[in-house]
Amino acid sequence: MKTFIPRGYESLLSIYDTQKAISLLKRLFEDRLGALLNLYRVSAPLFVAEDSGLNDNLNGVERPVSFDILRSDIRAEVVQSLAKWKRYALKRYNFRPGKGLYTDMNAIRRDEDELDNLHSVYVDQWDWEKVITREDRNLSYLQDTVRNIVAAICDTQDTMQAIYPQLQSLGKLRREVSFVTALELEERWPDKTPKEREDAYLRENGTAFIQGIGGALRSGKPHDGRAPDYDDWDLNGDILVWNDLLGRAMELSSMGIRVDPASLDKQLTLAGCDDRRTLPYHKMLLAGELPLTIGGGIGQSRLSMLLLGKAHIGEVQASIWDEETMRICRDAGVMLL
Domains identified in the chain and CATH numbers:
15-331 (3.30.930.10)
Measured from the Cβ of residue 286, the count of other Cβ atoms closer than 10 Å reads 19
Give catalytic status of residue 186 as yes or no. no
Q: What does DSSP assign to residue 55?
A: S
| Residue 275 CA from chain centroid, whole number | 26
The active-site residue, picked from 56, 77, 198, 232, is: 56
The active-site residue, picked from 52, 251, 265, 277, is: 251
Measured distance CA(166)–CA(160) in Å, rounded: 10
Give catalytic status of residue 198 as yes or no. no
In this predicted model, what pLDDT tens digit does every residue of 173-228 receive, in sequence order?
999 999 999 999 999 999 999 999 999 999 999 999 999 999 888 888 889 888 88
Q: Helix 15-37 to helix 139-163 angle, to the nearest 10 degrees?
A: 150
pLDDT lower than 70: segments of the chain:
1, 57-61, 111
pLDDT on residue 82: 86
| Residue 325 CA from chain centroid, whole number | 23
pLDDT on residue 60: 59
Helix (H, G, I), strand (E, B) or coil at 67: strand
Contacts for 10-19: CB closer than 8 Å, 24+ residues apart: 10/333, 11/309, 11/310, 11/315, 11/334, 11/335, 12/164, 12/166, 12/167, 12/169, 12/170, 12/308, 12/309, 13/164, 13/166, 13/167, 13/308, 15/335, 17/164, 18/308, 18/310, 18/315, 18/316
Nearest partner of 233 among 262, 218, 211, 252, judged by Cα: 211
* Beta-strand pair 207-211/178-181: parallel
pLDDT on residue 211: 96
Q: How many helices (H) and strands (E) does the chain have?
A: 9, 11
pLDDT on residue 57: 66
Give catalytic status of residue 260 as yes or no. no
Give catalytic status of residue 124 as yes or no. no
| Residue 170 CA from chain centroid, whole number | 23
Measured distance CA(148)–CA(130) in Å, rounded: 14
Helix (H, G, I), strand (E, B) or coil at 231: strand
CB 257 within 8 A of CB 309: no
Q: What is the DSSP string of 178-221?
A: EEEEHHHHHHH-TTS-HHHHHHHHHHHHSEEEEE--SS--TTSS
pLDDT on residue 271: 86
pLDDT on residue 61: 66
Nearest partner of 133 among 108, 106, 99, 110, judged by Cα: 99
- 290 dihedral zone (left: phi>0; alpha: psi -120 to 50; beta): beta
Measured distance CA(131)–CA(319) in Å, rounded: 34
pLDDT on residue 52: 74
Q: What does DSSP assign to residue 101?
A: E
Measured distance CA(319)–CA(337) in Å, rounded: 7
The active-site residue, picked from 77, 136, 198, 238, is: 238
The active-site residue, picked from 157, 211, 254, 267, is: 254
pLDDT on residue 26: 96
The active-site residue, picked from 11, 80, 87, 109, is: 109
Q: What does DSSP assign to residue 58?
A: T
Q: What does DSSP assign to residue 80?
A: S
pLDDT on residue 1: 56
Q: What is the DSSP string of 243-265?
A: ETTTTEEEEEEEEEEEP-HHHHH
The active-site residue, picked from 11, 81, 125, 263, is: 125
